[in-house]
Amino acid sequence: MRKLFLLLLVLIQSFSLYSQSKEETQNWILKELSNHRLSGNIIYSNYFIMEGYIIEEHYWNVTGKFTFRRSSKIPLKNIYQIQLDKSQVGYIFNLKCKSDCVANKEFDNDGKIENEYLSQVFEIQIDQGDSTLLNRIPKALLHLIRLLGGN
């Protein structure tokens, strides 16, 4: 009887320890960022997660059509702080590194690199559509960071 009880206890505990895989977590984050991204007549952003980096492609409408203007990427395992700020049109998750680890490239209207620089902060912007994401996105990012070997 005691062995049966211990076996049941181990089984119950193993079910409660399930967590999403790296791929499931990445897919969920990207789906939510896509569904709740800021977009409009002037700017929009696309996000990708590849090889341990989260990447933003930022587009501006400056000539009557959207043009690729900036690319930023941050190594997920180097993120040490996630700060939430409210903007006029949504929310901003500031992903921070201890040193300059965010690689930024700015492009001219012809798609040529105009400027390259490093910074400490990577911004993810979302709309105000789902307030539950204010806790869920940072939680998913922290889970992904741990899966990639970060703290």
Q: What is the mean pLDDT of each run of 10 residues along the chain (151 residues)?
A: 52 56 95 86 86 92 79 96 93 96 91 94 92 96 93 77
pLDDT value of residue 1: 59
Q: Are 102 and 87 in contact (CB under 8 A)?
A: no
Where on the phi/psi map is residue 66: left (φ > 0), alpha (ψ -120 to 50), or beta?
A: beta
Please state, rounded to an integer, the average pLDDT across all residues of the chain.
86
Cα dihedral 67, 69, 71, 72 sign = negative
SS3 content of the chain, % helix, strand, coil (to 5): 30, 40, 25
pLDDT value of residue 18: 57
Q: In whole angstroms, what is the distance from residue 131 CA to residue 33 CA? A: 13
pLDDT value of residue 111: 83
| DSSP letter assigned to residue 65 | S
- The two counts, helices (H) then strands (E), for the chain are 3, 8
pLDDT value of residue 66: 75
pLDDT value of residue 16: 45
Closest of 101, 87, 94, 103 to residue 43, by C-alpha? 87
pLDDT value of residue 15: 44
